Amino acid sequence: MLDYSDEMIIDGVLEEFSQLARIPRKSGHEKAVSDYLVKAFSDIGCEVHQDEVNNVIADLPATDGMESAPKIILQGHMDMVCVADHGVNYDPLKDPIKLVRDEKFLSADGTSLGADDGIGVAEALYIMKNLKKHGPLRAIITVDEEQGMTGAVHLDAKYLKDAQYLINCDSENYDELTVGSAGSVNIDFNRQLEYSAPTGNKAYKIHLKGLLGGHSGMEINKGRANAIRIMAMLLNALDEAGISYELSSFTGGKARNSIPAEAEVVISTMAETQVIQEVIDAERDSCLDKYGAVDNGIEFELTAASQPQRVMSEDDRDSIIRLLISLHSGVYAMSQVVPGLVETSANIGMVKMDDGEVLSIAYFPRSSNDAKIDEFILQADILAQMAGFTAVIDNQAPGWKENQNSKLAKVMLEVFEAQNGIPMKVETIHAGLECGYHVMKNPELDVVSIGVNTFDIHSPKERLELATIPPQIKLIVETIQRLTF
């Protein structure tokens, strides 16, 4: 057991977390943090393996006499979604996260916090460093969970097949036990662009901001607006108002699985500012009619811009707008089994023009029904052909179905209620977890997912409730003890 006060536990876990926050760890760029974890786990006394994609597998030998106890895995991911408030100077490949702590919450200064899932990694480090008596423990810390679950995909099944239990530490409510999650698929729509010189005598930048954004799984049912789709609607409204314009650039969103809170375009036109502003004002009113009850901070900022050197062809412009308006974004179907649970959804996560020659749209359907994912894949192929795009289908992640006979879930529910005096809720969630891959590779593995209270993840408003750290640590430790002795 851990004979520490709540304050000592909070300080100890946050010390581990603060080390992670110093290391940039955007999805797909995890080598530095992976190297740090190799050393950190090695210093604890673990035998550590870093695989070809930079997953870290750390084995802590059992204490004397406990060698025959079942092997328990603590699992999380090292990458994070990197987003910043408008105007914040932040390079996710170079800059650390600046932590802000008050009496109740841990947050970040102008950026996402990375508690998803840095806090899970910190918990694993803390427990393995401080637990005095235990059976064989393994930490599996994966890469690229947020962007494509690359780490889970490439994790060698041998690291799952010799264990009996896996505790995933990537959920978001301390009093919820997650026993199932949705599958998903990454879809990218790409279009080669054709350019010509602009014919307009004015140029404008239109910046859409002020939306809430959020997690495209956990918050997709809150009715929040998608900035990319709204911007496409605005461009369409300009055309319908008879305003002739040429599109130079269209960008928006920060991550595939984050509801975009901002988008930006640059246009060239002969139209006067007032005429464009009138259409913008009308579109803002329309957006407030549709989303104002939950997402009323929408703001279009129209400013003069330097005349671009080139603009897209009219066919490119129209095809982009038609596709973005045609793609479903939001809840698609509710569960017919679990009341109130989203079964199927989709999110337009990003529009980017990295090299200026190809425009890419990142699209992310989720569903607990694999047949619905297949339907979205078919639809993507058809819409891409109709709009003159190519659809790239990648990384169809498996769903994770509840194990009705889970001993791990039973023990954890008993421990939580004994420790906290309230029952723990059991949930299947409309979000992606790596557990689907783990169970696919070892169907006999007993898996649950837990987490501390975190709010507004994947956004600059992300924060972690400090008081939920001690009960989380105590829950994991006591569960390990009951499964060991």
Tens of pLDDT along 184-198? 999 999 999 999 999
| Residue appearing with tokens 């092997």 | 71
pLDDT value at residue 255: 87
Which helix (DSSP H) or strand (DSSP E) does residue 278 occupy?
helix 273-291
Question: Phi and psi of 186, rounded to 5°?
Answer: -85, 125
The answer to whether residue 81 scores a pLDDT higher than 80 is yes
**Position 2 pLDDT exceeds 90:** no
pLDDT of 148 strictly over 90 = no
> Would you mind telling me the total number of residues written for the chain in this entry?
485
Residue 418 pLDDT > 70, yes or no?
yes
Residue 98 Cα distances to 106, 107, 296, angstroms: 11, 9, 29
**Interval 428-455: pLDDT, tens:** 889 889 999 999 999 999 999 999 999 9
CB 380 within 8 A of CB 393: yes
| d(C-alpha 103, C-alpha 113), whole Å | 17
The pLDDT score that the predictor gives to residue 368 is 87
Residue 383 has pLDDT above 80, yes or no: yes
**Predicted TM-score (pTM) of this structure:** 0.77
Average pLDDT of the segment spanning 106-113: 97
Quote the tokens at residue 235.
């461009």
Write down the mean pLDDT value for the chain.
Answer: 95
Residue with tokens 């998803």: 116
Which tokens go with 112? Answer: 């996402």
- What is the band of 130 on the pLDDT scale with cuts at 50, 70, 90? very high
pLDDT at 362 over 80: yes
What top-level class would CATH report for the domain 6-182+399-484? alpha beta
**Neighbour count for residue 207 (Cβ, 10 Å):** 19
Task: Tell me: pLDDT of 216 over 70.
Answer: yes
Q: Read off the DSSP letter of residue 368.
A: S
Structure confidence at residue 396 (pLDDT): 84
State in Å, rounded, how far the first CA of the chain is from the last one.
12
pLDDT at position 397 over 90: no
For residue 1, name the pLDDT band (cuts at 50, 70, 90).
low
Domain 185-397, what architecture? 2-Layer Sandwich (3.30)
The whole-number average pLDDT for the span 349-373 is 93
| Domain residue ranges of the chain, discontinuous segments joined by + | 6-182+399-484, 185-397
